[in-house]
A and B are shown apart, each in its own frame.
Chain A
Amino acid sequence: MSATGISVRGVEMVFHRKQESQVVLRDVTLDVAAGRLVTLLGPSGCGKSTLLKIVGGLLAPTSGSVTIGGRPAEEAVKARQIGLVFQRPALLPWKSALANVSFLNEIIGGRGAKGAARTTAERMLDLVGLGDAGTKLPEELSGGMAQRVSIARALALDPAILLMDEPFGALDAITRDRMNSSLLDIWSQTDKTIVFVTHSIAEAVFLSDEIHVMEANPGRIVETLTVELPRPRTAATLDDPRFVEYERHLRQGLVGGAIEGVTA
């Protein structure tokens, strides 16, 4: 299966609460080319998670449209092309790591699918470097390991699109750097299109082909930045003068208000 691209057109999202209504997303338009890794970068509350849910067909926008591989997002859900990773691992505490990874495929495939689902799950645990930890329960895993399991669970569905909502936000800095490297590693072995939400500038620059910078009230995209750093990206990438320059530019924009349309 070749990689699938995403197209978001004029998405508005308004939440109604009692009397008030809040515009959470205004006129969001973006394209993600097939097989790319793009990030949504922005401060808390600017609607990143909301946009991710809309892209994944899990939330219907007030207006506008999302197509995945040329078809409406809801169809991508029906075709099980969406893999999700959240900030917390959200594992079933009573199931082993392996069972957690194969769980969704067992649901999709019914009873007959269990054997195949377990085989896939073993491969995915290997891929995220947890081949030996399959029998462990979630409470026996470190935060980083648990998050790897949740990535394996998403990959086990073999989705065309991987939506990751601050997947490493709860991890310590060292583990986070390692997870970033291994995510790129895993990604290079697959042909997934990844939309990655973060509020870490360095993480965004390190990972992305493209960064969509968002601002709040109303949530919108204020800048799209193409990151032209060579791949594979390694520790050396962090010392690349262009990396430092991208980081400085984004920091000024987000913190200093230099990006167009943003007031500090």
Chain B
Amino acid sequence: MSADTIAQAVPTTRRRRPWAALGRGLGGIWPSALLATLAVVAWEIVVDVFDVSHFVIAKPSEIAEELVDKRELLLDALWITTEEIVYGFALSAVIGVLLALVVARFRWVDRALYPLIVLFQNVPKVALAPIFILWFGYGLTPKLLLVVVIAFFPITLNMRVGLQAVDGDLLLLMRSVGASRGQILRRIQIPTALPYLFAGMRIAITFCVIGAVVAEFAGASEGLGYLIQYGSTQLDTPLVFSGLTVISILGLALYYAMSALEWLVARRFPLPNAGQAQA
């Protein structure tokens, strides 16, 4: 199913050498940074030369100016949206992990619930935003709800795969010493699943940003999504673009924070059998 393939990440393994990755990362940044700078310069020039209307597009220099001028407004909005994302993400992680554990522990739950969850993935959840607003008003609740509904799935999916990725021989070994299911879960399955879980969380954090902004579009009185929408109704294009800039930077920062966390976990808990002799 498409939802399955989209949301499932392959966890990074420990085998990658950190300095090599870092070197490649830094080496890889320069071409992108150069290209981005060129694009920004070109943008500035094109808008100037063709004298595009202020209402259609803001120049980078105008955006920068706006970012400075309206910094307090933007920072307040950033704070609100970050709160929604972080709380929503934390909730998604808790719910996603618990669901994966329940599904892994009870086969009948897995059989009954999992197909429904996958089916639910095909509901365009963004379209639920107005309903949540209708039910829960303009506060934090509908935002958290939308974020969770969008973001828990990649976490559950990846965690579930991780819990099942356990070596069958290891399970046999645990049974041969009379280990309980709880012990098997705690000592073997969960550590094995950790790199998968963090790969899922890396995807989920991106979904959280989308969820929070969309929820604010649908109905809010504060936050970056609200600011962008407000700006567009007021034809305040620089405000729209500066809001976009801030939300993009936030998204990037969160994504890289999750990637860093994922890398740290993969280093501590490498994927099963990595580096062991295979037949």
Interface size class of A (residues with CB under 8 A): 35 or more
Interface residues of A in 110-165 (CB under 8 A from B): 137-144, 146-147, 157
Contacts of B271 in A (CB 8 A): 93
Contact A92 B191 (CB under 8 A): yes
Q: How far is the CB of A216 from chain B (nearest CB, A)?
A: 20
| Interface-facing stretch out of B56-64, B145-153, B170-178 | B170-178
A86 to B176, CA, bound (A): 13
Q: Is B80 an interface residue (CB 8 A)?
A: no
Interface residues of B in 174-230 (CB under 8 A from A): 174-179, 183, 187-188, 191
A215 to B241, CA, bound (A): 75
Contact A108 B177 (CB under 8 A): yes
Contacts of A93 in B (CB 8 A): 269-276
Contact A58 B176 (CB under 8 A): yes
Given the known inter-chain contacts A90-B167, A107-B187, A139-B15, please indicate yes or no for A146 contacting B176, CB distance below 8 A: no
Contact B167 A58 (CB under 8 A): no
Contacts of B169 in A (CB 8 A): 84, 86, 88, 90
Contact A170 B277 (CB under 8 A): yes
Contact B277 A90 (CB under 8 A): no
Q: How far is the CB of A163 from chain B (nearest CB, A)?
A: 9
Contacts of A86 in B (CB 8 A): 169, 172
Among residues of B, the one whose C-beta sits closest to the C-beta of A172 is B277
Interface size on B, residues (CB 8 A): 29
Q: Which residue from A77, A80, A139, A157 sits with its C-beta under 8 Å from B276?
A: A139
Interface residues of B in 255-279 (CB under 8 A from A): 268-279
Contact B174 A89 (CB under 8 A): no
Given the known inter-chain contacts A93-B270, A94-B268, A107-B187, please indicate yes or no for A143 contacting B178, CB distance below 8 A: no
Contacts of A83 in B (CB 8 A): 176
Among residues of B, the one whose C-beta sits closest to the C-beta of A104 is B177
A93 to B276, CA, bound (A): 8
Q: Is A91 an interface residue (CB 8 A)?
A: yes
Q: Which residue from A58, A139, A157 sits with its C-beta under 8 Å from B275?
A: A139
* Most chain B CB within a 10 A radius of its CB, from A82, A87, A107: A107
Contacts of A90 in B (CB 8 A): 167, 169-170, 173
A228 to B175, CA, bound (A): 36
Contact A88 B270 (CB under 8 A): no
A83 to B177, CA, bound (A): 9
A sample of 17 more A-B contacts (CB under 8 A), given A93-B276, A137-B275, is A77-B175, A80-B178, A84-B173, A86-B172, A88-B279, A90-B170, A92-B170, A92-B188, A92-B191, A94-B270, A108-B178, A138-B276, A139-B270, A140-B275, A142-B277, A146-B276, A170-B278
Residues of A within 8 A of B (CB): 53, 56, 58, 77-78, 80, 82-84, 86-94, 103-104, 107-108, 137-144, 146-147, 157, 169-171
